[in-house]
Amino acid sequence: MIVESQARRMTRTLAAYMVVALFVFPLYFWATTAFKNAKDIFNTPPTVWVFEPTLRNFEEVFGISLGFFRQQEVLPGGGNFFMAPRLWDSIVVALGSTLLSVIVATLAGYSLSRMDFRFRHLFVGWVLSTRMMPPVAVAIPMFFIYKDIGLLDTYTGIILIHAVMNLPLAVLLLKSFFDDIPRDIDECAMIDGASRWIIFRRIVLPMARGGVAATAVLCFIFSWTEFIFVLTLTQTGLKTVPVVSSSFVTSTGTAWGNMAALGVAATAPAFLFILLVQKQLVRGLTLGSLKE
Amino acid sequence: MTLSSQGIKRILTGDSALPWLAPLLAMLVVFTIYPLIYNIWLSFHEYAPFRRRLEPVGTDNWQALFSDERFWDSLSVTFTYFGVVLIIQVVLGMAIALLLDSEQKGFGVLRALLTLTLVIPPAITGMMFLLIEDPEFGVLTWLLESLGILDGTQPILATGSTALMGVMLADIWQWTPFMVLIFLAGLRSLPPEPYEAAMLDGASSWQTFRRITLPLMGKVIAVAVLIRGIDLFRIFDYMFVMTSGGPGTSTYTLSLYAWQQTFSFIKWGYGATISLVSLILILVIANLFIWVARVRW
């Protein structure tokens, strides 16, 4: 575009690296905390670069060698740090709700992209409006409704509410991916005698593979990181990682090392996922409204 | 009752949109419309602890809002948080996007690194900043004290005047990259012609930005502001783990206040009423914005 001078280029590079370093620093600090001893965590001034690495925090949280025998151990101060089951809860909830939202949203997204019917714009507006509802205004009544029908503290209950939470995103995003595929393809196939279902199943869905995958990744991440619904709608039966992180705050102090170990183990897979969908990320974050 | 695959085929063969939308409709009605109606019903009732049941109280809960100072405090905290964080994220996001908008080697990696903050559960981000801002061994506290900005007697998150800023910092760190990525995508799709013309006319880079980039980026900025604004208005996670609303009411947002009224103080009806206020405000503001800024889906 515009040719930059050598000096300007250098300044820009330097500034860019510094800004990104500033954003990466808290991640670095958190990740290293997971490998630190209490001595290094509770040091003033804080230990940033040089410390004695340890795997103790991970072992206490996931019990790779000991956990099988000490699952319910309660540590001094009242905390139970064995978190492997919580990781499992998170995985079940995120996978289940992602599957449900993606299935429901592909059907809806296809019809919103291809079929004309009255009030279509109003319908899309309504779907978008559900994305605006404050979670607390859904969580409060849902608590009482779930209590009455026995869905409190169950996988089914959390999977359903997470799926609904992700539906507006999934529907609007998939609609935008289907919009990218020319309608002519549908019409040609229809002239050849194919039904809507066959067109959807055999032609359009395979063409939108990448979009479906990107949608699934985003649904997974939003379910994985969700806080208020799990906080409100579970008691003891299941807890996902974000909610359980506060249990490291005990009466004898906060177990920062263990908390960081859980945080690292719980975000590392999400990092990999998001790197896979870099290309569709902006479209996803804007609910399909902006294309890169 | 089982639907054979033949049956599904027959239903989906026709050109009616209804069967395609039915699962979505069912889920949205059961999980958004019904709770909404239940919530409205709840706001006209209150839990009576001695009789252990909900009793109708008429419009008491709605009237109580007007004289409840903590409610007005939480309203003002919500708007302050929303406004300040949104402005900082837009300005900072634009600045960083302009900085990173280059074909230079290595910048792709920088952009990828910025996406990493988006996948961390906000509750865990809150914990991260709790440690970073810890009064005794937090990195930020230590840094600010060695710079002479803090004097060591005021813990960031336990002092009324700085607690909200401490929480905002976590939000700004986590979601400024969201703005950067969206703005970057916008900048990269701008047509080159106006810039060539501006260069021929000898426009300064500020003029070019002000007269060409900003107007062309209007839609992109509007979408980013809408989506981020919605999330900022209903913010809950950071305050819940970092300060629980304190000290005093300095970090109480509407969402947090509603939640605590319902689940900590067992005022089910009042909590529902506050959550409805937040719902109404967000729907009105967001839809007004969509209409004024002509955002289209």
Kind and range of the H or E run holding B46 = strand B45-48
Q: Do B185 and A26 touch (CB under 8 A)?
A: no
Q: What's residue A66's pLDDT?
A: 52
Alpha-carbon distance B216 to B210, whole Å? 10
Whether residue B257 contacts residue A134, with contact meaning beta carbons closer than 8 Å, is answered with: no
CA-based nearest distance A133→chain B, Å: 6
| A74 within domain boundaries | no
Closest CA to B194 of B218, B215, B221, B219: B215
DSSP structure string for A209-234: HHHHHHHHHHHHHHHHH--HHHHHH-
- Count of the separate structural domains present in chain A: 1
Closest CA to A30 of A264, A245, A269: A264
CA-based nearest distance A130→chain B, Å: 7
Q: What's residue B235's pLDDT?
A: 93
Kindly report the CATH number assigned to the domain that includes residue A173.
1.10.3720.10
Q: Do B121 and A227 touch (CB under 8 A)?
A: yes
pLDDT in tens, A115-170: 888 888 889 989 999 999 999 999 999 999 999 999 999 999 999 999 999 999 99
pTM value is 0.90
Averaged pLDDT for residues A39-45: 74
Burial of A159 (0-12, 13-18, 19+ CB in 10 A): buried
Report whether the peptide linkage leading into residue B122 is cis, meaning its omega lies within 30 degrees of zero: no
Choose from A218, A285, A287, A291 for mutation: most chain B CBs within 10 A. Answer: A285
% of chain A at pLDDT higher than 70: 92
A202's tokens: 């055999």
- Which pLDDT band, with edges at 50, 70 and 90, does A77 fall under? very low
Choose from A204, A289, A291, A292 for mutation: most chain B CBs within 10 A. Answer: A289
| Domains of chain B, first to last | 71-292 (1.10.3720.10)
pLDDT in tens, A1-18: 455 678 888 888 999 999
Chain center to CA of B58:
33
Q: Do B122 and A227 touch (CB under 8 A)?
A: yes
Is some CB atom of chain B closer than 8 A to the CB atom of A224? yes
| A18 within domain boundaries | no
| A58 within domain boundaries | no
Q: Do B13 and A196 touch (CB under 8 A)?
A: yes
* Cβ contacts of B281 within 8 Å, gap of 6 or more: B233, B254
| A139 within domain boundaries | yes
Q: Do A137 and B182 touch (CB under 8 A)?
A: no
Q: Which of B100, B115, B117 is opposite residue A281, by nearest beta carbon?
A: B115
Closest CA to A109 of A99, A101, A119: A101
| A169 within domain boundaries | yes
Q: What's residue A190's pLDDT?
A: 86
DSSP structure string for B261-287: HHHTS--HHHHHHHHHHHHHHHHHHHH
B58: left (phi over 0), alpha (psi -120 to 50) or beta: left
| A112 within domain boundaries | yes
Burial A210-227 (b: 16+ CB within 10 A, else e): ebbebbbbbbbbbbbbbb
Range of the domain at A175: 84-285
| A32 within domain boundaries | no
Q: Is the pLDDT of residue A48 over 90?
A: no
pLDDT mean values, one per 10 residues, chain B (297 residues)? 55 71 93 93 90 86 91 95 97 94 86 91 92 86 84 82 93 96 92 88 87 90 94 94 88 94 91 95 94 84
Q: Do A195 and B12 touch (CB under 8 A)?
A: yes
Helices and strands (H, E) in chain A, number of each type: 15, 2
| A190 within domain boundaries | yes
Whether residue A21 contacts residue A255, with contact meaning beta carbons closer than 8 Å, is answered with: no
Averaged pLDDT for residues A89-100: 94
- State chain A's mean pLDDT as an integer: 85
Q: Which of A111, A127, A133 is opposite residue B279, by nearest beta carbon?
A: A133
From A19, which residue of chain B is nearest by alpha-carbon distance? Answer: B96
Alpha-carbon distance B161 to B166, whole Å? 10
Q: What's residue A167's pLDDT?
A: 96
- DSSP 8-state class, residue A83: -
| Cα dihedral A122/B219/B177/A271 (nearest 10) | 50
Q: What's residue B122's pLDDT?
A: 94
- Residues of A whose CB is below 8 A from B204: none
pLDDT in tens, A16-32: 999 999 999 999 988 88
Whether residue B94 contacts residue B209, with contact meaning beta carbons closer than 8 Å, is answered with: no
Burial A228-257 (b: 16+ CB within 10 A, else e): bbbbbbbeeebbbbbbbbebbbbeeebbbb
Q: Do B137 and A290 touch (CB under 8 A)?
A: no
Burial of B25 (0-12, 13-18, 19+ CB in 10 A): middle
Question: Using CB atoms and an 8 Å cut-off, which of residues 241-270 of chain A contact chain B?
Answer: 241-243, 245-246, 248, 254, 256, 259-260, 263, 266-267, 270
